[in-house]
């Protein structure tokens, strides 16, 4: 067994993206956000659980006045989306007239994002955008115009850097893909 591989539950994962590469992507996203929201004081809504590392590292690079809050939704079981989205923790901030940016770890089927965008749009924000670290274009089942995409990746199941496999793997600084 290769010592770089990790085992989580019944699956093996091999190295895919380094923490250094993820940091480069976040620098690029933060530069765009700093420019696009320079005079807007956005509200960043990090979607838990998966986006916690991405949101933390990205927001350290955001150098404009902003607010940060969290919403928790779940749609995954094992290695695939259930197709059902359940909101676990709700939003307490007023969104009307605000510039809102959702921070997500990964967009694959788009079920979660579609539900959130539809739900949050009813609260009449001035603007509503998504910044995601990863996007799987070949998995999308919804029409989504995502303005801030760190990396488009193939349909491989990945863990690490906040992403998990049935609760395990979020703590790794690098990203691994299933073997």
**In angstroms, what CA-CA distances link 62 with 18, 39, 41, 97, 125?**
22, 13, 11, 21, 21
Q: What is the pLDDT along the chain (179 residues), one digit of tens a residue?
A: 577 899 999 999 999 999 999 999 999 999 999 999 999 999 999 999 899 999 999 999 999 999 999 998 765 555 565 556 655 467 889 999 999 999 999 999 998 899 889 889 999 999 999 999 999 999 999 999 999 999 999 999 999 999 999 999 999 999 999 99
Active site residue 4: no
Catalytic residue among 108, 118, 156, 166: 108
Cis omega (within 30 of 0) on the bond before 49? Answer: yes
Six-digit token pair at 65? 């006045």
Whose CA is closest to 52, among 23, 72, 77? 72
For the residues of 30-93, what is the DSSP string, one character each? HHHHHHHTTTT--EEEEEETTTHHHHHHHHHH--S--EEEEEEEEEEETTEEEEEEEEEE---S
Domain spanning 23-170, CATH architecture: 3-Layer(aba) Sandwich (3.40)
In the three-class reduction of DSSP (H, G, I as helix; E, B as strand; rest coil), residue 169 is classed as coil
The whole-model pTM stands at 0.91
Question: Domain residues of the chain, as ranges?
Answer: 23-170
């Amino acid at each position: 067994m290769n010592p770089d591989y990790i085992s989580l539950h019944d699956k093996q994962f091999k190295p895919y993206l380094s923490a250094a590469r993820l940091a480069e992507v976040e620098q690029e996203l933060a530069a765009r956000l700093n420019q696009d929201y320079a005079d807007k004081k956005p509200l960043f809504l990090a979607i838990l659980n998966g986006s916690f590392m991405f949101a933390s590292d990205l927001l350290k690079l955001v150098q404009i006045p902003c607010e940060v809050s969290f919403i928790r939704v779940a749609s995954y079981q094992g290695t695939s989306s259930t197709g059902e989205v359940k909101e676990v923790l709700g939003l307490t901030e007023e969104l009307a007239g605000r510039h809102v940016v959702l921070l997500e770890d990964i967009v694959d089927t788009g079920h979660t994002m579609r539900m959130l965008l539809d739900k949050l749009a009813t609260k009449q924000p001035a603007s509503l955008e998504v910044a995601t670290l990863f996007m799987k274009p070949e998995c999308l089942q919804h029409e989504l115009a995502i303005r801030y995409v760190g990396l488009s990746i193939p349909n491989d199941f990945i863990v690490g850097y906040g992403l998990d496999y049935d609760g395990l793997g979020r703590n790794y600084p690098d990203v691994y893909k299933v073997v």
